[in-house]
Structure formats: C-alpha cells, structure tokens
Amino acid sequence: MLAYEVIVQGDGNSRHSGLVKYYVDAASGKVLDVQDQIQTAAATGTGRSLYYGNLSISTDQKSATKYDLIDTTRGSGSVYDAKGAAISNLFDILSATSNATLMTDTDNTWGNNTTSDRATVGVDIHYGVGVTWDYYKNVHGRAGLAGDGKGIKSYAHTMFKTSSGGNSGVNAAYVDLVKSMFYGDGDAARGYGPVVGIDVAGHEMTHGVTAATSKLAYSGDAGGLNEAASDIIGTLVEFYANNASDPGDYRIGEKMRSDGKAFRDMYNQASDGKSFNCYIAGGFNPNLSDGAHNPHYTSGVGNLFFYFLAEGSVAPAGTGLNPAQMACNGDAGMTGIGRDKAGKIWYRALTAKFTSSTTYPQARAATLAAAGELYGNGSAEQNAVARAWSAVKVN
C-alpha cells in the first residue's frame, strides 16, 4: 500500500494538538492514522457543576496554562460550546459543529456552579458522559458507543428549532450522522433548567449504542422500544452514579424541572395524559409517530415492563398508586429480580437480539431468550420477564 505522510499545523482548537501527522491512502484518500505531534497529559481538574456540586473531572493538559475539556481516560470524549446555535436538519448540525469551540480553561477549575459561567453546564455534561462510559464499561464490558473505545463529542448551549418556527432549549439529542450529542440550556422563564442531568446523558448516549447495534427504527413499536431503551439505561446510569445530589429513581429529567415533575415517570408514564402504560391490540402505528404514537409516548410500555422486572409489584412511595392499579392485568404479586439482572437481560436483548423492526411481542421473545441464556431456561429470572410483559399486555 502506498500512503502519504502529511503534517498539518492548526490552532489546536480541537481534540488534537496544533501539530498533527496524518497518514493518507494514496489511492482512496482515506485517513489511515492520525498522530498528535505535541504530546499532552491527562489531568484532574475541579468542576463546579450546576446540579452535582464540585466534582473531580478528567481533562487534557496542553500546557501550563491551557487545559481542554477532553477526557483522555475515556476515549477522548470532549465538550464544545455550540454558542446557542439552533439545529433541526443536517445543514444546521454541520454548521453548529463547525462553528462550535472546544471548552478550554487556564487553571483547570471549570465553572462556578451557576449558568453565568458557560463552562458550568460543560462540567455537568462531562460528568454525565463519564459516568455513562463507566457504566457501560464496568457493567457490560462495552467501551464507547460502538464498542470501539472512542469517546463522543458533546455540544453544550444548543438550541432546537420547533415546528412553530421558534427555538427551544428544553431538549437534548444524539445525532448518529455526526456521532455527537447536543444539550439545550432549558428555559428558565418556564421553569426548566439546562438539560444536562446524568439520566439525560445516559439516555442520549444509549441512542448511540442502539444505532450501533440493533438499529431500532424510530416509529411504530420499534420507536417505542428505542426510546424505552434510552430511558432504561439512562435510569440505570443514574443509579450507578450513586450521587446524593440526584438519587437514582425511575423518573426522567426531574432534576431539570423547578416544579418537581419529570419528563416521564417510568412506573406510570400514562400520567402525562399522552403516553401508554399498556400495549394496544395491533401494535403502534408507524404513520402516527409524529402524533398520538410518538416514540416518547409508546415507550411507556417498555418502561413499565422494566420497572416491574426490576422492582416487582411495588408502588413508589408518595405516588398514591397501588400495585393492582399499576399493572394492566391487575397482577399485584410480581417479585422483581433487581436492577442488575434486569439491566443485563435488557442490554443483551438490545445489542444482540433486537433488529430495526422489532415489535413489542418480539421484544418479549428476545428478552425471554436473553434471560434463558444468562440465567437458564425456566429460571426465576426468565419467568419474571414473562410475567412483567404480561403485566403490560404484551403476550
């Protein structure tokens, strides 16, 4: 193979240094290897986050007075400032990413625990991404979204275009085309803080895992399973973090709302007046994915299944629910197998058994097979999977 060695000098405002050597295939133009010519060092900084207090965070030291918000211990995941760029389509996204700047600091102390410092939410994002990386690596043996050891780019201070023609900061997203995550700044006037919680990071990064494995579609039953997968893993990441500032629960995004509510309550998602707790005859209609059968609504079936599998017929304290009300078939006698086993069953099904078109009944079969492989056919764990699916009317 003939290859060219090319040395490029830049401003160092990226995950690479200002002097980089590239090896390029002479025939195809494909980049074969990239080598920084200025050696840097992993460092430990102090992050003054918005939601989680002061944290020790991994950064990249470029010089005595320059640190980048890059985690060299976790695949060189990095955090950029999108400067309020509004995104909706690929053109917007490419524009936002090209104009964003890597977050840097002079003394390795980041943020000030308030939104007056743009680095503050960068700390929350960096922390959430790191916890999610550790969860996948330590629990499931997966390093990086694609299992290739590569970190992810995150863009703070993003806006999201709405169908009404305006912009909103109350959102976060993973975009597989650019293998990156985007985080909104919330809307203080409406009681929403920046959307940078631990469960949000876990949720969005799991969209990347789904894209790299099962490739679940974003409509019909598959769309609901796609969103449920992200809620489920996002919740498991929150429990894994074991952070007293945000104890693990089955509520999505509650840390970011001033009214104490969540974007979704996994144990009773239908309480929002739009979502489904119970599967419907014939399944969810892909043609209604922008309306009544939006994946954020149809995910309620998968979320409630997982809650029953992990916790059993136990109503969360303070909800006013009782076990018989929670189950679509009135089953009040389920015994949970715990989050660890439930998470391993779900992960195995998501990454090794689900396909782009998996339906809820097929997800039942896939998780039963996963439980059998992990814990044995006829095991208590496999029986619990069957009972939990029946409790949400997936038979």
Range of the domain at 307: 215-395
Nearest alpha-carbon partner for 391 in 335, 339, 352: 335
**Same-domain check for residues 251 and 318:** yes
**Same-domain check for residues 220 and 74:** no
What pLDDT is attached to residue 13? Answer: 47
Catalytic site includes residue 293: no
**Same-domain check for residues 201 and 220:** no
Catalytic annotation, pick one of 126, 204, 207, 238: 204
Alpha-carbon distance of 183 to 195, in angstroms, equals 6
What pLDDT is attached to residue 37? Answer: 58
**Same-domain check for residues 119 and 237:** no
Catalytic site includes residue 204: yes
What pLDDT is attached to residue 9? Answer: 65
**Same-domain check for residues 310 and 253:** yes
For residue 168, which phi and psi values (nearest 5 degrees)?
-135, 145
Residues 229-259 have pLDDT tens digits of 999 999 999 999 999 999 999 999 999 999 9
**Same-domain check for residues 152 and 231:** no
Q: How far is CA 40 from CA 33, 52, 286, in A?
A: 18, 28, 49
**Same-domain check for residues 187 and 260:** no
What pLDDT is attached to residue 112? Answer: 99
**Same-domain check for residues 74 and 95:** yes
Alpha-carbon distance of 284 to 349, in angstroms, equals 20
**Same-domain check for residues 270 and 155:** no
**Same-domain check for residues 333 and 380:** yes
Catalytic annotation, pick one of 157, 203, 207, 296: 296
Q: Which residues does 320 contact at the CB level (< 8 Å), separation at least 6?
A: none
212, 231, 263 - which closes a domain: 212
45: domain CATH number?
Answer: 3.10.170.10
**Same-domain check for residues 79 and 206:** yes
Helices (H), 258-338: 295-311, 323-326
**Same-domain check for residues 138 and 201:** yes
pLDDT tens digit at each of 395 positions of the chain: 677 777 776 545 455 555 577 777 777 777 877 666 554 678 999 999 999 999 999 999 999 999 999 999 999 999 999 999 999 999 999 999 999 999 999 999 999 999 999 999 999 999 999 999 999 999 999 999 999 999 999 999 999 999 899 999 999 999 999 999 999 999 999 999 999 999 999 999 999 999 999 999 999 999 999 999 999 999 999 999 999 999 999 999 999 999 989 999 999 999 999 999 999 999 999 999 999 999 999 999 999 999 999 999 999 999 999 999 999 999 999 999 999 999 999 999 999 999 999 999 999 999 999 999 999 999 999 999 999 999 999 99
Nearest alpha-carbon partner for 367 in 357, 387, 356: 387
